Amino acid sequence: MHSAWKKGNIDGVVIKPLRKYLDRRGFLCETFRLDELPPDLKPVMSYVSYTEPGVARGPHEHRAQTDIFSFLGPGNFLLKLWDNRPESTTRGNCMELFAGEDNPLTVIIPPGVVHGYKNISAHSRGMVINYPDRLYRGWGRAEEVDEIRHEDDAASPFKLE
């Protein structure tokens, strides 16, 4: 962890443990419910991504978008968050979470919180579902992508390792 970052909670980040309901057919898991989200948060799309073992996505941050990530397996992830918001009372805090098949979670990440995750599974592709509150590239995909990418900057203080 970069010396400027300290471990601690981050305002606005919500971590919700998920429950898998198992039976002989498999399992069912509610990843989010509108009546359990913050009142001003409304997801507008969803997507599923699979990440190969040992591969990372991010770190990056969004200017306006809130991400609602669900990690329920297959696979397990290291998720890191950094509060990079100038106005935040928890600016400078960093969180590490382990999420996925062994610890199913939904995590809400507000704009300005840098985030990245890495599949730490030995052999399994890891699945993540996201329900952001902004359309990718806006209505009709006519806008710029709402993200600031840090993963390609060798001098970035945001590291998943």
Enter the pTM of the model: 0.94
What average pLDDT does the chain have? 95
**The pLDDT of residue 2:** 46
CATH of region 6-149: 2.60.120.10
Confidence tier at 16 by pLDDT (50, 70, 90): very high
Q: What is the pLDDT of residue 88?
A: 97
Closest CA to 128 of 81, 71, 78, 76: 71
Question: Distance between CA atoms of 16 and 84, rounded to whole angstroms?
Answer: 22
pLDDT band of residue 4 (cuts 50, 70, 90) is confident
What pLDDT, on the 0 to 100 scale, is given for residue 1?
Answer: 43
- Check whether 125 has a pLDDT greater than 90: yes
Residue 123 pLDDT exceeds 50:
yes
Q: How confident is the model at residue 3 (pLDDT cuts 50, 70, 90)?
A: low
As a whole number of angstroms, the distance between CA 126 and CA 156 comes to: 25
Region 91-104: mean pLDDT is 97
Domain residue extents for the chain = 6-149
- In eight-state DSSP terms, residue 35 is G
Q: Of 135, 141, 150, whose CA–CA distance to 56 is shortest?
A: 150
Which range has the worst mean pLDDT, 19-23, 122-126, 153-157? 153-157
pLDDT tens digit string along 23-72?
999 999 999 999 999 999 999 999 999 999 999 999 999 999 999 999 99
96, HSE (Cβ side, Cα atoms, 13 Å) = 10
